[in-house]
């Protein structure tokens, strides 16, 4: 029988809110350049600045929050990604970002989770056991930003603390 480490009660109600500004980029296809050479993302010119913006926003949020890297605890994320609205889209009615231009939602989530892990919000993105995510245009959803970017809430699951 293996013993599990109890989750400290100080994590009860732990919640971190992060707002990152910039043009969201999904973490998509990886190209392998051959033996001994690095693998690169096909969209690395847009992905690198986006991930840097997420990491900087996470580090700023952690300054105002008593925080050490969450390790070994299950977490939940709630993500709203606000993507640029194309100039060809209707101006007076709500539309949805369902074109290839806005990238796949799961690619956006992967970029955000990897960035949060690199920023040491949590030790590894495998700790995310529950999530919700949405992709919207500016001002067209209750959680949308007025400009492109993302709002991310990270919470320790309350059920894990209560056991």
What's the confidence (pLDDT) of residue 130?
94
Supply the pTM of this predicted model.
0.81
Note the pLDDT of residue 46.
Answer: 81
pLDDT at position 27 is 80
Amino acid 52: pLDDT: 95
In tens digits, what is the pLDDT along the chain, a chain of 163 residues?
Answer: 444 444 444 555 678 999 999 999 888 766 655 677 666 655 677 888 999 999 999 999 988 766 667 778 899 999 999 999 888 777 777 777 666 666 789 999 999 999 999 999 999 999 999 999 999 999 889 999 999 999 999 998 877 655 5
What's the Cα-to-Cα distance from 146 to each of 27, 33, 41, 140, 155, rounded to whole Å?
A: 23, 39, 28, 9, 24
Which residue, 163, 158, 156, is CA-closest to 73?
156
Q: For 14-162, which CATH class?
A: alpha beta
The pLDDT assigned to 95 comes to: 73
- Output the pLDDT for position 2: 45
In angstroms, the CA 132 to CA 2 distance is 32
Q: What per-residue confidence (pLDDT) applies to 82?
A: 95
Determine the pLDDT at residue 12. Answer: 56
Task: Give me the pLDDT at residue 101, please.
Answer: 65
How far is residue 122's CA from residue 116's CA, in Å, rounded to a whole number?
7
> Would you state the pLDDT for residue 87?
82
């Amino acid at each position: 029988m293996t013993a599990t480490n109890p989750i400290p009660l100080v994590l009860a109600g732990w919640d971190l809110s992060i707002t990152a500004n910039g043009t969201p980029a999904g973490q998509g296809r990886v190209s392998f350049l051959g033996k001994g050479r690095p693998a690169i993302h096909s969209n690395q010119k847009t992905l690198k600045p986006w991930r840097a913006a997420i990491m900087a926003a996470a580090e700023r949020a952690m300054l105002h929050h008593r925080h050490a890297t969450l390790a070994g605890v299950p977490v939940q994320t709630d993500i709203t990604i606000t993507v640029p609205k194309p100039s060809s889209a209707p101006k007076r009615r709500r539309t949805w970002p369902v074109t290839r231009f806005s990238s796949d939602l799961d690619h956006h989530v992967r970029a955000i989770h990897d960035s949060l892990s690199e920023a040491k919000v949590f030790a590894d993105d495998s700790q995310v056991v529950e999530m919700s995510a949405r992709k919207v245009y500016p001002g067209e959803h209750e959680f949308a930003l007025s400009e492109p970017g993302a709002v991310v809430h990270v919470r320790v699951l309350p059920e894990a603390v209560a056991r």
